[in-house]
Amino acid sequence: MKLLGILLGGLALFLAGNSLAVRLKEEAGLLRKGQLLILRVRRELTVRKLPTGQILRELAADADFACFPFVRKTADRFTGTESPALIWQEEVDRWKGLPHSPAGREALRELGGILGGSDGESQAAALLLLEERMQGSLSQAEKRAAADGKLCRSLGVLAGLMLAVLAI
C-alpha cells in the first residue's frame, strides 16, 4: 500500500510539471492565433476593403478564431450605432482566457481600438505596427515555453523521484 502511495505521489508531481509545460505551450499558441487575427484584419482592410461590421462577422464565423470568444460577442453586439472599439474593449475585458504575457493581452485589446477608428490606410498602418509587436511577444513566449517547459517537466520528474526516495 505504501508503494502504491509513493508511485501515485511521484506520478502526480510528474503530471504537475508536465501540465505547467503544456500551459506554456498553449499560451504561445494563443499568441500565434492573435497574430493571425491581426494579420487577417489587416488583409480584410487593405485587400478586400471591407467595412468594420462585415470584418467582425467574418472573423466570428471563422473557426480558426473560435478560441477568441470576444470576437463573436463583439460581432453579435455591433449594430453600427456604437463604437466597435468600445464593444471590443468590453468583451475583451470580460474574457478570462487572455494570454498571461502583458504585451499579448495589450495587443489584443489594441486591435479593437484600431478597428473602425479611422480610415482604412491608417488602420492598416497601425495594424502593421501591432503585428510586429505581437511577433516579439510570440517569439518571447515560444522561447519561454521551450526553456521553462523543459524545466517544469524535469522538476516534476525529479520531485517525483525525490518523493519516492524519501518515502522508501
Q: Is-contact 85 109, C-beta < 8 A?
A: no
What average pLDDT does this structure show over 70-82?
A: 89
- Ramachandran sector of residue 99 (left: φ over 0; alpha: ψ -120 to 50; beta: rest): beta
Which stretches of the chain are DSSP H helices?
A: 2-43, 52-61, 69-77, 84-94, 102-114, 120-167
What's the pLDDT at 99? Answer: 64
- Supply the Cα-derived Rg of the chain in whole angstroms: 21
**Chain segment 103-117, per-residue pLDDT in tens:** 777 888 888 888 877
Q: Which three cell numbers stand for residue 47?
A: 485587400
User: With contact defined as beta carbons under 8 Å apart, do 127 and 45 qualify?
Assistant: yes
How confident is the prediction for the chain on average, in pLDDT?
83
Report the distance separating Cα 45 and Cα 52, nearest Å.
8
Q: Which residues contact 71 (CB under 8 A, 6 or more apart)?
A: 37, 56, 59, 60, 65
- The residue that leads in pLDDT, 135 or 102, is 135
**pLDDT over threshold 90, residue 61:** yes
Of 9 and 38, more confident? 38
Cβ-Cβ contacts under 8 Å for 43 (sequence gap 6 or more): none
What are the distances in angstroms from CA 123 to CA 27, 51, 118, 136? 27, 12, 6, 20
Do 114 and 127 touch, CB atoms closer than 8 A? yes
